[in-house]
Amino acid sequence: MLKSIVKAKKDLAKPKMTIIESAIERFSLDCGQYPDDSMGLEALLIPPAGLEEKWNGPYLKASHLNDPWDNPYIYVAEGEINPGSYDLVSLGADGTEGGEADAEDVFND
């Protein structure tokens, strides 16, 4: 039973990322840019300084910014996994980089 719960959480990490990706795209359409690292994913909840007039959010619920283990997703504006775009990362069940099985990191495509 525990293994199925662990697998279910891991299987939810990517679909939750899709919700964030959609919100980032809507933010970009409204504001003419993706959030930078200083704005982070908070830009999807609260208008960043200088973008208040363009911002049309909030773009999602605050709870969507946490992975299935209730750790915050990590946003990297200049993606290393996705060069030319951004990275979203869940650090898995252990909340630290690396790991295997349920502790394995999950990245957006």
Q: What is the model's pLDDT at position 43?
A: 98
Is the confidence at residue 2, as pLDDT, over 60?
A: no
- Position 62 scores a pLDDT of 97
- Check if CATH label 2.70.70.10 holds for domain 2-107: no
> In the prediction, which pLDDT does 102 show?
77
The sheet with strand 87-90 has its strands ordered as 74-76, 87-90, 106-107
pLDDT in tens, 52-99: 999 999 999 999 999 999 999 999 999 999 999 999 999 988 888 988
**Global pTM?**
0.88
Structure tokens at 54: 């363009």
pLDDT given for residue 105 in this prediction: 87
pLDDT for residue 71: 94
Residue 1 has pLDDT above 60, yes or no: no
Report the alpha-carbon distance of residue 14 to residue 68 in Å, rounded: 10
Cα–Cα distance for residue pair 46/44, rounded to 1 Å? 6
